[in-house]
Structure 1
Amino acid sequence: MSIKRLNDGRYEVDIRPQGVEGKRIRRKFSSKGEASIFVRHILVNYHNKDWLEKPPDRRKLTELLARWWVFHGKSHHHGEVERQRLTSIIANLAEMGIKRADQLTRKAIMNYRVMMLDRGLKPSSVNRQCAIMSGMLTKLINAEEYQNPNPFHEVKAFKEAETDMTFLSADEMESLLSRLGGDDLKAVMLCLATGGRWNEVASLKGEHVIGGKVIFMKTKNGKRRAVPIDTALEAEVKTRATGRLFYPSYMNARAVLKEIKPDLPNGQALHVLRHTFATHFMMNGGNIITLQRILGHATIQQTMVYAHFAPEFLQDAVRFNPLTGAGRYGKKP
């Protein structure tokens, strides 16, 4: 362990709190006092002595957010959006007097959830907020920047009601396509042909459409996925070899869609194009595992919401129910 004065007047800490085989921690400070405080913090929190309990983390949540940004947020393509969400949640917690990590107990989290529900948030929205905070702490734990257990793991999520989900019929699709033009039409056609999200399709470049496939790069889970398309559609949408292909208007496409289908469930809007692809894929006899890969779902449970659209889904209920067996309806199996 050492605190060394550098040529620029700062002080560098170089320490291995778990011995020569352990992790090496180095950091620079403007004063020797700050460096000494940091050394004491490291020796107390980063030891490998199982018989010594690690003390509560008394850092401010805003400090943890800053460390999350350094180790994860700034290098993630959704990092800035996530930071804004975390900042808002931390501000809400501060209204309750929860400003430090050690104050973020199971009871405090449960009180926070009640406060958010009282403000009119849906259980699903509260669950998402808790998941976002939990994710921040998990990233810090993985980066060895947070040494205490994740308190959000002790709180069971609210049970969420299944959201309404609709899709466009063949006639509604024809009506929608006939009323759009230019870039809006191209984007909607690609959404219906690939199941891509609007922002995934809208940001496509010429180099992402090649060999009869659309390659989605900026996806929700960060993983690339490729979806085949018809050669005629490829020729229609690929107007240049490189660079962004089009600049569709979300608001215009949404307005036309709402005129055609005014009873869309709240919060769906153009996401109904993705539902339409998945629904017709299953109705036409598509495979549920293939659909999972096309949509880029992490688990098959996410894709199973479309399973009941398959032609043969649960047909055994008709063939094997007791009325059929008694010869009252249908044919005996």
Structure 2
Amino acid sequence: MAVKRDKDDTWRVQVDRKGIPRTRRGGFATKEEAELFERDYLAQHRTTYEQAMDDRSLKELIESWFIYHGINLADGERRRRALLQMATDLKNPVASQLTAEQFLKYRYVKTFEGDAVCFKTFNNLQGYLVAVFNKLKKLKVITYHSPICDIDFFKIQERQLSYLSRSQIDELLDSIKIHSQNLSTWWVTQICLRTGARWSEAEKLTRKQLRDGRITFEFTKSKKTRTVPLDPAFFHALDQFAGHMNPDDRLFKNCIGAFRRAAKHTDIKFPRGQSTHILRHSFASHFVMNGGNILSLQKILGHADISMTMRYAHLAPDHLKDAVKLNPLAAAA
């Protein structure tokens, strides 16, 4: 890079930096004009230059993201492991040089070859990586825009969420009573069905979280506590089960394995990856079908975004009932 005076008393600029398109421009009347052009040119290509000079690997950026942001997420450690595995699969490239084409080839391999993952699972992984680049750019840790953030996600056909009928719930509870020797399994299943709790939230309950006929869930996915009332008879039985435990004592043993083994003794076909989460869907679905309010359901489930809760709206008894009265053939019926 240089600003030089030519023999005809005009000034010439030459920019030759790594990561910036080379240019040579002459004919400037004064040195100040040449220097102004140089500054403007460098500013115009500053991001490209900084991107080229950022030689941190993808794993290094992931670790930075975890320290600066991921550690604050309820599932931050799980995301970190998934992201590091992606970096390994991609052969840990220099993050600033990772191209859309590289990532798309990796996506094809992960979803169409060998032990392929489903589109929804890969969309989640892609979303984690996009979030890393976006968050680090917002924090000014990186200055460039990654092309990964411009890649469209797989379009997935929306399906209704699965839930258990009352007869299936009875079948499941009976199987737990017969086939599970872990007493915690029955109680945790009941709590999930009665409150819409996630399995981990119910399984890790402590004595102090039971009070005045209600359960207060802590360490939730949203990191906000929420309180849900229980049927008085069930709460009394649960309170008796807890007995004289200390406030911080866990009520239940780990029992997800026992639940899955008991579930295998039923005729219920559980959706892939939803052996326990279907209990939460079942609570929400029956809540709405029985006339429950969507806004109340949002608070009970702890959804930060109402759009998550609206997935159950179609189950409401009066959902879009005007379609019957206001369709073009209604008058002729």
TM-score, normalised on structure 2? 0.75
Check whether the contact 1:166–1:275 (CA below 8 A) recurs between aligned residues. Answer: yes
**1:265 matched residue in structure 2:** 271
Structure 1 residues 100 and 216 mapped into 2: Cα distance closer, same or farther (>3 Å)?
Answer: same
Partner of 2:39: none
Match of 1:17 in 2: none
- CA shift, 1:50, in A, is 5.3
Counterpart AA for 2:221? K
Q: 1:241 Cα deviation (Å)?
A: 5.0
How far apart are 1:266 and its partner, in Å?
1.7
Q: Does 1:85 align with 2:72?
A: no
Indicate how the Cα distance of structure 1 residues 80 and 322 shifts in structure 2: closer, same or farther if over 3 A, else same.
closer
Please give the per-residue CA displacement for 1:115-170, whole angstroms capped at 9, x wherever unaligned: 22223222212211111112222332343322222433211211112245322222
Task: Give the 5 Å matches for 1:95-106.
Answer: 99-106=93-100
State the match for 1:320 in structure 2.
326
The answer to whether the aligner puts 1:301 opposite 2:307 as a matched pair is: yes
Aligned pair 1:204/2:239, yes or no? no
Question: Which amino acid counterpart does residue 287 of structure 2 have in structure 1?
Answer: F
Cα deviations by residue, 1:17-74 (Å, 9 ceiling, x for unpaired): xxxxxxxxxxxxxxxxxxxxxxxxxxxxxxxx95561321221112212322332344
Q: Structure 1 stretch 165-174 or stretch 281-290: which is displaced more? A: 165-174
Aligned pairs (5 A) from 1:178-197: 178-181=174-177, 182-197=183-198
SS in structure 2 at match of 1:325: coil
- Matched residue SS, 2:90: helix
| Cα drift, residue 322 of structure 1 | 4.0
Instruction: Give matches, 1:12-27, under 5 Å.
Output: none
Deviation at 1:76, TM superposition (A): 4.3
Query: Could you tell me which residue of structure 2 aligns to residue 22 of structure 1?
Result: none
Superposed displacement of residue 86, structure 1: 1.0
Give me the whole-angstrom Cα distance separating, in 2, the residues matched to 1:179 and 1:121: 31
Q: 1:321 to 1:70 in 2, by over 3 A?
A: closer
> How far apart in 2 are the matches of 1:88 and 1:299?
29
Counterpart in 2 of 1:154?
Answer: 150
Q: Which amino acid counterpart does residue 138 of structure 1 have in structure 2?
A: N
Q: Report the residue type matching 1:251 in the other structure.
A: G
Higher RCO structure (Cα 8 Å, ≥6 apart): 2
Cα distance in 2 for partners of 1:313, 1:69 equals: 43
Q: What is the letter of the counterpart of residue 207 of structure 2? A: G
CA drift of 1:309 comes to: 1.1
Letter in 1 for 2:323: A
Whichever of the two has the greater Rg, that structure is 2
- Percentage identity across aligned positions? 34
- Answer whether contact 2:175 2:263 (CA < 8 A) is retained: no
Seen in structure 2, the aligned counterparts of structure 1 residues 77 and 161 have a Cα distance that, compared at 3 Å, is same
The answer to whether the Cα contact below 8 Å between 1:166 and 1:265 also exists between their aligned partners in 2 is yes
- Shift, 1:211, TM fit: 2.5
Number of the residue aligned with 1:124? 120
Distance of aligned partners of 1:100 and 1:324 in 2 relative to their CA distance in 1, 3 Å threshold = same
The CA distance in 2 between the partners of 1:188 and 1:252, in whole Å, is 11
> Do the aligned partners of 2:176 and 2:263 also contact (CA within 8 Å) in 1?
no
Amino acid at match of 1:71: Y
Q: 1:75 to 1:168 in 2, by over 3 A?
A: closer
After alignment, is 49-58 or 182-191 more displaced?
49-58
In the other structure, the counterpart of 1:215 is: 216
What residue ranges of structure 2 are gaps of 5+ in the alignment? 1-41, 178-182
- Using structure 1 for the length normalisation, give the TM-score: 0.75
> Matches of residues 210-249 of structure 1 in structure 2 within 5 Å?
210-238=211-239, 239=242, 240-242=245-247, 243-249=249-255
- Kept in 2, the 8 Å contact 1:187–1:248? The answer is no
Q: Deviations over 1:208-229 (max 9, x none)?
A: 2222322222222333222222
- Residue by residue over 1:172-222, the C-alpha shift from the partner in whole angstroms, topping out at 9 and shown as x without a partner, is 222322343421111011001110111111011112222232222222233
Deviation, structure 1 residue 92:
1.2
Aligned mates of 2:246, 2:236 — CA distance in 1: 11
Give the CA deviation at 1:294: 1.4
Pair 323,114 (structure 1): closer, same or farther in 2 beyond 3 Å: same
- Report Cα offsets for 1:262-302 as digits up to 9, x if no partner: 32222211111111101110111001121122112232222
Give the whole-Å Cα distance in 1 for the aligned partners of 2:100 and 2:166.
50
Name the counterpart of 2:105. 111
1:64 equivalent in structure 2: 61
Q: How big is the shift at 1:323?
A: 4.0
For the 8 Å contact 2:74–2:220, the answer to whether it is kept is no
| Distance change in 2, residues 1:323/1:143 (3 Å) | closer
How far apart, CA to CA, are the structure 2 residues paired with 1:77 and 1:279?
25
Count of aligned residue pairs for this structure pair: 276
